[in-house]
Structure 1
Amino acid sequence: MAGSAIGAGVIAVAGLLVLGLSAAGGAAAESQRLAGTADAAALTAADGLSGAVPGDACGLAAAVAASARAEVASCSVDGLIATVSVRSGFGGFTVVAAARAGPPPS
């Protein structure tokens, strides 16, 4: 009888560990996906600023973010440099990533 209780406890603890590690792995994957989305949005905004792509820089960034199931949290322009922050939800939490793009420093 006692061995059954210990076995059930070990299985329950192992199940909780697997669940926690799965959640942590999913959050890490979402963070990396969102970082890539921020990079793509900032690069697209910088292309808009340089004239390589027609349109409003922040509007272009918002379109890229929306295509990746995210939204632009902030978008700022300084000359030809665009700084974009995007956010998305994961498991009831908000995940945020930011990126900056523009011409290389002279």
Structure 2
Amino acid sequence: MAGSILGAGMVAGTSLLLAGLVAAGAAAVEGQRVAAIADGAALAAADAASGAVRGEPCARAAEVAEAQGAVVVSCVLDELIATVSVRASFASFPVAAIARAGPPP
């Protein structure tokens, strides 16, 4: 009897640990996804600022972010360098990232 209670406890503990690891892994993946969205949005804004593509730079950044399920929080242009901050949510928690793009110095 004591052995089956111990076995059930070990299975429950292992299951809880595994669930926590899966959640942490999923959160890390979502953070990388949002960082990639910020990169794409900053590149789109920098391309528009340089004239490589048509449109207003921050509007282009917003289009790219919204197409991937994120929202542009801020978009700042310093000549041809764009700094874009985006936000998305993961399991009702906010996830944010900032990216900068432009010509090399």
- TM-score interval, normalised by the smaller of the two chains: over 0.9
Q: Gapped runs of 5+ residues in structure 1? A: none
Matching residue's letter, 1:78: D
Q: Following the alignment from structure 2 to structure 1, what is the Cα–Cα distance between the partners of residues 77 and 5?
A: 62
> Is 1:55 equivalent to 2:50 in the alignment?
no
> Partner residue of 1:78?
78
Q: Gapped runs of 5+ residues in structure 2? A: none
Q: Following the alignment from structure 2 to structure 1, what is the Cα–Cα distance between the partners of residues 56 and 6?
A: 63
Identical-pair percentage: 60
1:91 Cα deviation (Å)? Answer: 1.5
Q: Following the alignment from structure 2 to structure 1, what is the Cα–Cα distance between the partners of residues 13 and 90?
A: 24
1:47 Cα deviation (Å)? Answer: 0.4
Deviation >6 Å, runs of 4+? none
Counterparts of 1:1-106 in structure 2 under 5 Å? 1-105=1-105
1:72 Cα deviation (Å)? Answer: 0.6
Pairs aligned (count): 105
1:103 Cα deviation (Å)? Answer: 1.0
Question: What is the CA RMSD across the aligned residues, in angstroms?
Answer: 0.7
